[in-house]
């Protein structure tokens, strides 16, 4: 690419809407309460439905399902740590939560 061209990562669509360094109340409510609450609620509903399907329809062993969920949770934690480091090292305008 030429020096005068801007790519998508540094364009206006990928730029952050946050311009200040301090966290305000609406941002705290959405980021620390409403967002995680919704994610945990939907995850719990989905997991309970999936657990019933696996045990009642597929007739899978409950010990196997518990081990599978534990293994997938460990993979999710590792993936979150890796993606967090990738975001931390990103050099775009929207790479960090604060400017």
Is the dihedral angle over the CA atoms 10, 17, 24, 31 positive or is it negative?
negative
DSSP 23: P
- Assess whether 50 and 71 both reside in one domain: no
Biggest CA pair distance of the chain: 61
pLDDT of 62 reads 87
Residue span of the structural domain in which 47 resides: 24-58
pLDDT of 16 reads 67
Within a domain: 6: no
From the list 86, 92, 89, the residue with the least C-alpha distance to 6 is: 92
Write the pLDDT tens digit of every residue in 12-67.
Answer: 776 666 777 777 787 777 778 888 888 889 989 998 998 899 999 999 998 998 89
pLDDT of 39 reads 87
- Assess whether 41 and 30 both reside in one domain: yes
For residue 7, pLDDT beyond 80 = no
pLDDT of 82 reads 94
For residue 74, pLDDT beyond 90 = yes
- Asked whether the beta carbons of 22 and 99 are under 8 A apart, the reply is no
Within a domain: 33: yes
- Looking from the CA of 13 toward its CB, the CA atoms found within 13 Å total 4
What is the distance of C-alpha 1 from the center of its chain? 31
């Amino acid at each position: 690419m030429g020096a005068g061209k801007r790519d998508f990562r540094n364009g206006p669509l990928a730029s952050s809407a946050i311009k200040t360094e301090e966290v305000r109340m609406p941002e705290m409510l959405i980021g620390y309460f409403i967002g995680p609450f919704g994610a945990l609620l939907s995850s719990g509903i989905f997991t309970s439905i999936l657990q019933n399907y696996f045990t009642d329809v597929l007739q899978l062993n409950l010990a196997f399902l518990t081990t599978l969920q534990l293994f997938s949770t460990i993979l999710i934690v590792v993936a979150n740590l890796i993606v967090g480091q990738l975001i931390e090292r990103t050099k775009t305008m929207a790479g960090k939560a604060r400017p």
